[in-house]
Amino acid sequence: MFAVFFFKTEKDRVPVREFLDNLPDPRAKAQIIRAIQRLGEVGFLPEPFSRAIAGSRKLRELRITHGGNIYRVFYSLVPGGRILLLHGFVKKTGKTPPNEIRVAEARLKQYLEGEHEEKN
């Protein structure tokens, strides 16, 4: 069992929680939450459920498809065997937008430098 945490900004925002709370489809939200719970149970999900982000040594993405929409939640395994949820978004193109990756990487860097997290 792995502890799953949400990244928390210095202004007390919790981006992945906000992403989940703003999803219009409760079934999609439930499916994403189940994927997060499963990740916490096993610590690693194989493709197609999760994969490493190319060019990043620490960043991975949960991959969820529901109702014709593609959802992604970026996460990282951080010290202490914990899983940190960094960024969620609805994917609208075939390739993951570089800006979405940059957001997750910046949050991971901020976390590693300052330990911003909220328990799940």
Pairing state between β 4-6 and 82-91: parallel
Q: Which domains does the chain have, with CATH numbers?
A: 4-119 (3.30.2310.20)
Q: What is the DSSP letter of 81?
A: T
The model's pTM is 0.91
pLDDT at 79 over 90: no
pLDDT tens-digit profile of 9-24? 989 999 999 999 999 9
Q: Are 64 and 50 contacting, i.e. CB atoms less than 8 angstroms apart?
A: no
